Structures are given as structure tokens and as C-alpha cells.
């Protein structure tokens, strides 16, 4: 038996360019891992320092009492945000530094998936898992050390075996979360039509995306599109409902129309939110989506010109007017619909602001276009600099700060340089 501690750090985002939500969310990758480890007989401790607002000393005390052989730390706040993770590793660095030498340290997440040597060095980790981590962590706990998708220290050298790995998603179990974790999950991600009453939660119905938009950094993790069995999803939803969960958010990279799942959700009495492409939904499916309980849609439009969408490799066959009509149609069935926009040179600002106002009058909210961050592992990064090297995050971050004077409205003030955010290591 191998004693394994799975830790979601207590995330802080001061000075970061981080675009994601800053509230605690369920650490799905760690929950799935815990299930597989427990099934194999390995004692596990899942410690969500973010959900429980734990100080470093609290985490250290819990681990000393548990006496782990392996400590796993994730470098992004749950699977929902692996594609737009904080570029800096400050928070997991602080945690790794506090736990130095306590057990074999394993890092999982987008940083190690794309730049494994950098993540290994910055975190002073013993092993980095590249790609989807659940089955790899089970193999490590079972005593394996040299298989595809790992980076590890071999004396003074760093060895990397193969590239990022994907898992058999069809085997993902229905997750059951501790009651106290659910009770603390007050946040309802991307919900705006009502004040939360009961707890919220996150669920994964599919993994990956069949599209290859240039800005999306999914290639090294959660890339290939796979659907989870509907029965497994509904079992997990029913478990959450018994825990008084009122709202769930599907963390899928893209929530595609699924008649069987939506019909199954219609009788569950839950509200839910999704992120999707509006051009994939016909009016009849939008009606079913609303009837199933959907109250929030994030729809990736990105650019208001065909040229802009083509530059982003959106592979969208709808015109801008047709996209607008479909967004308005969605509003007939779903209370909150958002059109996500990215700042593109093909879109002039006066036209964008007029379109935003027109959509708002029709009940659709469209964000002020967000500047693109060229995440390492995205096609946009490769177009600028080629394949990511050991300084990819620093390069992308410096480029972003030098290109823009105004940033996303989720950021408080001007973001700090990466080297000012991270602990400096040799």
C-alpha cells in the first residue's frame, strides 16, 4: 500500500493575469484520482486547502498526521481552469517549499503538461505528470516509475518519457464528495439569474474538444473529445442532489448537444450552466436545453467578423447575423446567455460596442473583448515562437504585458511580471 495525499492549494491571485473564476471549485482531477487509488487499496487524503481556506501550517499538520509516501500538488484550480491557468507557479511553489522533504512530491496540471522540466525545477518536485493525471498517479502509487507521460529527476539530470497522456474517460466513476466539502461550496459558477440558496458543484460530462481554435491551450491535456456514459453522469448528479446541491456547472471544454443526457436531466430538478458554441445548437435543442434546467450559457463567439473567426480557426459556418439570431433564440429558453468575445484586429471597436449594445437590448450579455494571452501549448504560442521551451511561460507573459495597456475586467490593476510573482530558484 502507498499512502497518497492529494492537495489543491489555497489559491491567491494577487498581481496575476489569471482569467478564471477565483472562487473555490471541486478539484475534479483529484476526486477522480482518489476514487481509483481507494479502489486499488491505497490510503488517500484529499486536502482542498482552497475550499477550506487552509494556511500552509494547517496543510503541513494534516500531512504529518497522515504520513504520506506521495504528495500530489496541482498547478491549476481544478480541471475547469487548466486551459486558462495562472501562468505563475507562486502558490504551488509556496506549498512545495513548506512541505519540502516530507514525501515524494508529484506535480500535476497544465504547467508540467506543457513545460515539464520547468515545472519540475520551479517546484523542486520529484515527478511531474504530463497530461491527464488520474491513471498515471495510480500507476505511480502501484510502484511504476518509468512510463510515458512522466518527467522525473535522475541524479542531476531530468528525464522525460514520451508526451502527455489521455485516460479512458468511459471508465470515469460517479464521484461522491464529502458532505462538508459540498456544504462549503457556496459558489454557483457563472450563474446570474438567481441568488444561490443551496450548495453548488461541478460535473464533467465530456472531455476534450473536436475543434482546434488557435487560442485554446488544450493540446497537452484534455484534447481528444470523449463522452462520458450518461448513466454515470446521472448517478453523480443524483448523489449531488441528495446532498442538497441546487446548481451544477459542467466543466466540459465544450458541452455538445446530447439528447439522452438532457432528457435525463429534465426530471432531476437541478439548475446547471454550460460553455459551448452557439452555432452547434438548433432551436429544438435549445428548447430541450432550457427544459432540462440550463440557466446559464457561455457561448464562444470570439470575433464578430468572418475574417477574425477564420484567423482563430473557429471553423464556423454561420454568419455574424445568424450567430446573433441563435443567441437571441437561446434567450427564449435560458435566462442568462453570454457571448464571449476576444480582442481581434479584424474587429473595430465602435462596431463591437454597437453589437454589444444590440445584444444587450435583446437579452444577451457580451463581454468587452478580452486580450489574448498566448498560452504555451496553444497554436497561438507556436505561431509566435514555435514549440514551448523552458522559458515559454516567461516569454508569453512578457509579451502579453508589453502588448496591452488595458486588461481583462477580472483583473485588479496591472498584472505583475512573472519573475516578481514566483519564487526564484536556481
- The mean pLDDT value for 51-78 works out to 97
Average pLDDT for 131-158: 93
Give me the percent of the chain exceeding a pLDDT of 90: 88
pLDDT class of 154 with cuts at 50, 70, 90 = confident
Average pLDDT over residues 75-96: 95
414, pLDDT greater than 60 = yes
Q: Does 353 have pLDDT greater than 90? A: yes
Flag whether pLDDT at 175 surpasses 70.
yes
- Beta carbons of 407 and 417 less than 8 angstroms apart: no
Mean per-residue pLDDT, 203-215: 95
pLDDT above 70 (res 240): yes
β pairing state of 104-108 and 157-161:
unpaired
- For the segment 206-229, the average pLDDT, to the nearest whole number, is 93
SS3 label, residue 420: helix
Q: How far apart are CA 220 and CA 162, in angstroms?
A: 12
Predicted confidence at residue 250, as pLDDT, reads: 98
Lowest mean pLDDT among 222-231, 340-349, 402-411: 402-411
Q: Report the pLDDT value the prediction gives residue 409, as an integer from 0 to 100.
A: 54
DSSP state of 322: H
The string of pLDDT tens digits covering residues 120-135 is 999 999 999 999 999 9
- Region 189-195: mean pLDDT is 95
Confidence (pLDDT) at 372 = 87
Angstrom distance (rounded) from CA 204 to CA 402: 36
CB 152 within 8 A of CB 119: no
DSSP code, position 232:
H
pTM for this prediction: 0.95
DSSP string computed for 252-317:
-SS----HHHHHHHTTT--EEEEEE-GGG--HHHHHHHHHHTEEEEEEEEE-SSHHHHHHTT----
pLDDT in tens, 362-388: 999 999 998 889 999 999 999 999 999
Specify the pLDDT at position 171.
78
Domains of the chain: 4-161 (3.40.50.280), 169-366 (3.80.30.20)
Q: How high is the mean pLDDT of the chain?
A: 94
* Residue 410 clears pLDDT 70, i.e. is over it: no
Q: For residue 425, name the pLDDT band (cuts at 50, 70, 90).
A: low
Over residues 285-303, the mean pLDDT reads: 97
User: What tens digit of pLDDT does each residue of 255-277 get?
Assistant: 999 999 999 999 999 999 999 99
pLDDT beyond 60 at 326? yes
Nearest to 188 by CA among 272, 289, 293: 272
Assign 101 a pLDDT band (cuts: 50, 70, 90): confident
Residue 406 confidence (pLDDT): 61
Can you give the pLDDT at residue 424?
A: 76
Name the band, by pLDDT with cuts 50, 70 and 90, for residue 146: confident
Map residue 5 onto helix, strand or coil: strand
pLDDT of residue 413: 67
Is the pLDDT reported for residue 345 higher than 70? yes
Q: Are 319 and 306 in contact (CB under 8 A)?
A: yes
Amino acid at each position: 500500500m502507498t499512502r497518497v495525499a492529494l492537495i489543491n492549494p489555497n489559491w491567491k491571485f494577487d498581481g496575476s493575469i489569471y482569467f478564471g473564476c477565483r472562487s473555490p471549485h471541486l478539484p475534479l482531477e483529484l476526486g477522480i484520482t482518489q476514487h481509483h487509488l481507494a479502489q486499488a487499496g491505497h490510503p488517500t487524503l484529499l486536502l482542498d486547502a482552497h475550499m477550506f481556506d487552509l494556511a500552509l501550517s494547517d496543510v503541513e499538520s494534516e500531512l504529518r498526521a497522515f504520513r504520506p509516501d506521495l504528495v500530489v500538488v496541482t498547478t491549476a484550480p481544478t480541471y475547469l481552469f487548466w486551459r486558462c491557468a495562472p501562468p505563475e507557479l507562486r502558490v504551488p511553489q509556496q506549498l512545495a517549499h513548506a512541505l519540502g522533504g516530507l514525501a515524494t512530491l508529484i506535480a500535476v496540471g497544465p504547467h508540467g503538461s506543457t513545460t515539464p522540466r520547468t515545472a519540475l525545477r520551479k517546484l523542486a518536485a520529484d515527478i511531474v505528470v504530463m497530461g491527464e493525471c488520474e491513471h498515471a498517479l495510480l500507476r505511480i502509487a502501484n510502484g511504476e516509475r518509468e512510463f510515458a507521460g512522466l518527467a522525473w529527476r535522475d541524479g542531476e539530470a531530468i528525464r522525460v518519457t514520451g508526451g502527455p497522456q489521455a485516460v479512458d474517460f468511459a471508465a470515469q466513476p460517479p464521484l461522491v464528495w464529502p458532505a462538508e466539502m459540498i456544504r462549503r461550496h457556496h459558489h454557483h459558477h457563472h450563474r446570474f439569474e438567481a441568488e444561490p440558496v443551496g450548495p453548488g458543484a461541478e460535473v464533467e460530462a465530456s472531455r476534450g474538444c473536436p475543434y482546434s481554435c488557435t487560442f485554446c491551450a488544450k493540446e497537452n491535456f484534455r484534447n481528444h473529445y470523449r463522452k462520458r456514459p450518461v448513466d454515470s453522469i446521472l448517478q453523480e448528479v443524483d448523489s449531488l442532489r441528495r446532498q442538497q446541491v441546487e446548481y451544477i456547472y459542467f466543466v466540459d471544454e465544450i458541452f455538445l448537444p446530447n439528447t439522452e443526457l438532457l432528457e435525463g436531466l429534465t426530471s432531476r430538478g437541478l439548475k446547471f450552466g454550460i460553455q459551448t458554441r452557439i452555432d452547434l445548437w438548433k432551436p429544438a435543442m435549445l428548447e430541450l436545453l432550457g427544459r432540462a434546467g440550463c440557466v446559464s450559457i457561455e457561448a464562444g463567439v470570439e470575433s464578430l467578423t468572418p475574417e477574425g473567426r477564420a484567423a482563430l480557426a473557429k471553423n464556423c459556418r454561420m454568419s455574424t447575423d445568424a450567430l446573433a439570431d441563435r443567441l437571441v433564440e437561446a434567450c427564449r429558453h435560458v435566462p442568462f446567455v453570454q457571448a464571449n468575445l476576444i480582442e481581434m484586429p479584424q474587429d473595430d471597436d465602435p462596431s463591437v460596442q454597437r453589437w454589444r449594445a444590440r445584444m444587450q437590448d435583446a437579452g444577451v450579455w457580451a463581454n468587452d473583448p478580452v486580450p489574448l494571452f498566448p498560452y504555451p501549448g496553444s497554436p497561438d504560442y507556436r505561431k509566435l515562437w514555435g514549440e514551448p521551451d523552458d522559458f515559454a511561460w516567461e516569454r508569453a507573459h512578457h509579451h502579453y504585458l508589453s502588448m496591452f495597456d488595458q486588461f481583462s475586467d477580472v483583473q485588479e490593476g496591472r498584472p505583475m511580471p512573472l519573475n516578481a510573482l514566483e519564487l526564484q530558484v536556481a
